[in-house]
Structure 1
């Protein structure tokens, strides 16, 4: 029953946050926020129950966090800058 322990979710969230720093691209940050939300809910006594319910809360919280971050931070149009004129012109 490790999934019912609040600090396990918090540690998993921080581990996913570290993974996001090592592999940037806003991929793992939504999952990290979702895990911290579930851990905080368990720690405060707001959540409880079975593993499928906790995974559902984790999935929904991760999706909402990812969508909000995508809206706030925006979508990258491209990383390569194409110059159509010379700066000396």
Structure 2
């Protein structure tokens, strides 16, 4: 039986996703949650009987993490998330 590297194990990617999701609870901001979604998607890809290289997995991880982060920021942003401009001194 061929010995697998750690990046070829689906449960390692899933454990990383779980760790990142827990880290998101500690430091909210949807950054770690985007990475967790990317790692979970890569775990699903590794679970399939495909031979995907490490470079391809890292590219997929990066792309899906970025897309997940953008989607999460748009879904959960504050409705009045706009910059306030003051035309006079507010300390008067």
- Identify the TM-score tier after normalising by the shorter chain: 0.7 to 0.9
Which of 28, 38, 45 matches 1:41?
A: 45
Q: For the pair shown, which has the larger CA radius of gyration, 1 or 2?
A: 2
Q: Which residue of 1 aligns with 2:88?
A: none
1:28-87 CA-partner distances (Å, limit 9, x unpaired): 000000000000111133x53211110000001101100111111125738xxxxxxxxx
* Unpaired segments ≥5 residues, structure 2: 83-92
Displacement of 1:21 in angstroms is 0.5
* Unpaired segments ≥5 residues, structure 1: 79-89
TM-score, length basis structure 2:
0.75
- Coordinate RMSD, CA, aligned: 2.0
What is the count of residue pairs matched by the alignment?
78
The 4+ residue runs of structure 1 with deviation greater than 6 A are: none
Q: Which residue of 1 aligns with 2:10?
A: 6
Which of 19, 28, 45 matches 1:24?
A: 28
Q: Confirm or deny: 8 A CA contact 1:4 1:48 kept in the other structure.
A: no
